[in-house]
Amino acid sequence: QVQLVESGGGLVQAGGSLRLSCAASGRGFSSYAMGWFRQAPGKEREFVAAISWTSGNTYYVDSVKGRFTISRDNAKNTVYLQMISLKPEDTAVYYCAAKRVGTSRPPGEYDYWGQGTQVTVSS
């Protein structure tokens, strides 16, 4: 069992930056693939980024490539999402999630979820 708690969201102007953190507790964090997802009002939850348990592989949705960076520190049981050049369309609740086996994009394939943190980008 893994518990996830996101932090770092907030209100930022377009072009600004934020770093989201996801602190994990429970056994086996270092062996889980981790992902970040987001959900805007009236829209489905969408994949943003994922990282393998070794940090050797990272994946991004096209709309954030070059602007967002996912990373993890297994010693701290934490995964991060560094976001720069934020746009109003990045506004959403951001969730981190853990997956026992392999990285993937569909939200339904992740096993554990945090409660989410709000990111609002003003124009």
The predicted-structure confidence for 46-90, as pLDDT tens digits, reads as follows: 999 999 988 779 999 999 999 999 999 999 999 999 999 999 999
- Does the pLDDT of residue 116 top 80, yes or no? yes
8 A C-beta contact, residue 24 and residue 2 = yes
Predicted pLDDT of residue 53 = 83
Round to whole Å and give the CA distance between 104 and 116: 19
Round to whole Å and give the CA distance between 54 and 46: 23
Predicted pLDDT of residue 56 = 78
Predicted pLDDT of residue 6 = 98
- Does the pLDDT of residue 104 top 90, yes or no? no
Average pLDDT over residues 29-44: 93
Q: Helices in the chain by DSSP H: which ranges?
A: none
Round to whole Å and give the CA distance between 10 and 7: 9
